[in-house]
Amino acid sequence: MQRRRVLFGPVTSGEVERFRRALSSHDTLLFSYTPGADLQYDPQNTTFEQILEQLPSGWEPEVVLFWSPEYHPVPSGLEHCPYRLVAALGDWNLGLWKICDTLRMFDHILTDKHGVQVLQRLGFQNASHAKLYGYDPHLHRRLPDEPKLYDVGFVGNLNHAVQGERARWLLRLARLSEKYKICIATGLYGDDYVRFLNRCKITFNRSIRGEMNMRAYEAPACGSLLLYEADNLEVHDLYQDGVHCAFYDEQNLEQVIDHYLAHEELREHIVETAWQHVQNYSYAEQFHRLIQHAIEAVPEPLIGKARTFCKLNDSERIRAKVHQCVQSSFAKRVEAAFDILSRCPTIENDPVLLNDEAVLCLMLASEHSNHAVQIECLQRAEQCLQRAIALEPTHAVAMMNYALMLYATGRLAEMEGWAHRALKSLPECPPTLLRDALPWSPGYDWFYVESERAFAETGHSPDAFARRLLGFYMQKLCFILGELYASRDALHSAIHMYQRAFELHPQLAQPLTDMLWRLNRHEEAVALLERAIEREPLNPDHYVKLAALLHEVGHTTRLYALCRDALRLAQACPHLAGYRSFFERIMSADDNERATAS
């Protein structure tokens, strides 16, 4: 194993020791904007050249490996790095639109197989596949004293906006809770996470990008049988079905679970084989491969040749850095983005950057507790948006952001006019504005996730991506108009707007159902909640609402099936256990009514 000189980062404070262990076989220095790393930088004030000045005398890296540019702020001047500069891109599905142009700073990009396909469609020929994850032997280990409490378990993110496709599979898993001990958990980390995996005979897993995710290594390392989707793009590179794990598909999930729970000796044999096999995929082993790959991907004569960031014009480079900074998890990302914008002397004549400054002002106002600062930010946001619209009268994104600002600050009469004006201008808005101007949006909501999905699917065709965004922006505007009309009790107008906004706002199922019910449109209300459950199958509030409606209209068969599903879900999900009594009462009341009627 050849020992390499590696400059690696950024790493968060909580990751420092894990990365040190993983990279211990190399001469590695860690850099970060959080405490604990060897080299520190402040995203607001430190250039990459200043990071390099902190290197020990005579020490030069063979590769600078930038970890997770979708989460970590890029230091100023990174594009001028004199060494191999390689990005390790993980969750591109949650940030590629915002960081795409920033990726042009790098000599090479390492990501999962699906990510390579997406990047190549976007014009990045300097991307290749690498497996970025593994397991940490210091943490992910077998605990012999832990009993196998669960037949099948899952632990992970249950955010429907991000993991909606997986949620539908988890509902199928929950439906087995009458037959097996199923546990669907969330919010477990560190030793609690390890204990949970050890308690599961089988660990259900489903990737979001067709990649080998962390759980694919951690479950076997903890002595649990890994259950993974058969059409995963990467698992076949490392594991064999029935040897190291069990594969499932749309047709056979339940049958595969039945088989391996019925054949304990076979299951334990696979678990032991998988545990032995996964020792080859600790983070130390994986990162050795990763570093070798990064160095071989960029021969020394080609350092800097594939970087195209400097070919962008001044405004494009500023915009790219602003968007990447806002996308990051840096605590002062908004302030840092302001600093980047301040370097642009032509901002007052750039409708895209003016819009972006307004969004930054709105973000800062929403995050700041000082009322005077909030007022100042809102005033500047309004000035920027008005200036952007004056420069580009069809700037529908700026109009939408203005309407959202007015809605958030209670200026509803003004909001109504601007929202309608934005809706009218959307079809006329230049595609470049739709693609390039920042929308004001909270965290990982449906809009955020779906717009990122649209970019991954159509970003290589700018006009097609703009058309997808147009539809999303229309739904955001319809949402706030629906809220306005609902506040006025203008039911028909509110319903019309809510229905147009529903796909990006499943939370509208509750108020929209109430309005339909008041107008005696009962079947529409029921159908809407059923659609909401399809979108958010682990949301108990949808079940509660639908059960109440079905009970009221006497749809006993549908009510019984719904309550049975809800009880299975509550049985499988500890965080939903409090809902059991409601559905038990509904079923009991329904049984009593049927008994009385007979």
The predicted model scores a pTM of: 0.94
Separation between Cα atoms, residue 455 and residue 239, nearest integer Å: 31
**In angstroms, rounded to a whole number, what is the distance separating the alpha carbons of residues 594 and 598?**
6
Contacts of 165 by beta carbon, 8 Å cutoff, 6+ apart: 206, 208
Quick: pLDDT tens for 303-322.
Answer: 999 999 999 999 999 999 99
Supply the CATH number for residue 561's domain.
1.25.40.10
Residue where a domain stops, chosen among 487, 517, 542: 487
pLDDT score, position 11: 96
Has residue 57 been placed in a domain?
Answer: yes
Query: Domain check: are 191 and 292 in the same one?
Result: no
Q: Which of 97, 51, 55 is nearest to 74 (CA)?
A: 51
User: Are residues 438 and 555 located together in one domain of the fold?
Assistant: no
Instruction: Give the residue from 188, 209, 208 showing the smallest Cα distance to 199.
Output: 188
Whether 500 is covered by a domain: the verdict is: no
For residue 60 the two structure tokens come to 């030069």
Same domain assignment for residues 128 and 18:
yes
Q: Which CATH number fits the domain that encloses residue 25?
A: 3.40.50
Does residue 556 belong to any structural domain of this protein?
Answer: yes
Cβ atoms of 202 and 152 within 8 Å: the answer is yes
Q: Is there a single domain that holds both residue 368 and residue 443?
A: yes
Angle at which helix 412-425 crosses helix 396-408, to 10 degrees, equals 160
Assess if residue 337 is contained within a domain: no
Residues 353 and 482 in one domain: yes
Q: Is 228 among the domain residues?
A: yes
User: For 223-233, what is each residue's pLDDT tens digit?
Assistant: 999 999 999 99
Cα 337 to Cα 360: distance, rounded to the nearest angstrom: 8
Burial environment of residue 548 by CB neighbours within 10 A (0 to 12, 13 to 18, 19 or more): middle
336 within some domain: no
Q: What is the pLDDT of residue 343?
A: 87
Of 369, 349, 361, 342, which is closest to residue 405 (Cα–Cα)? Answer: 361
Same domain, 466 and 563: no
Q: Are residues 92 and 177 in the same domain?
A: no
Q: Which domain holds residue 363?
A: 346-487
Instruction: Please list the ranges in the chain whose pLDDT falls under 70.
Output: 1, 589-598
So what's the pLDDT on residue 596?
Answer: 54
Tokens of 525: 């209300």
Q: Does residue 437 share a domain with residue 568?
A: no
> Which pLDDT does position 567 carry in this prediction?
96
Report the alpha-carbon distance of residue 121 to residue 352 in Å, rounded: 25
Residues 72 and 98 in one domain: yes
Same domain, 272 and 294: no
Q: Is residue 70 part of a domain?
A: yes
Domain termination residue (choose one: 459, 487, 515): 487
In a domain, 441, yes or no: yes
Task: Tell me the residue length of the chain.
Answer: 598
CA–CA–CA angle 559, 563, 567 (5° rounding): 175
| Same-domain check for residues 363 and 438 | yes
Q: Which helix (H) or strand (E) holds 8?
A: strand 5-9
Question: How far, CA to CA in Å, does 504 sit from each of 30, 49, 91, 536, 586?
Answer: 40, 43, 21, 12, 31
* Whether 119 and 157 share a structural domain: no
Identity of the amino acid at 79: E
Distance CA 67, CA 132 (A): 10
| Counted domains in the chain | 4
User: Which pLDDT score is estimated for 443?
Assistant: 73
Token pair listed for 532: 């909401």
Distance CA(581)–CA(570), nearest Å, equals 10
CB atoms within 10 A of CB 287: 25
d(CA 240, CA 237): 8
Give the CA angle between residues 236, 210, 192 to the nearest 5°.
95
Alpha helices in 298-367 (DSSP H): 314-327, 333-341, 351-367
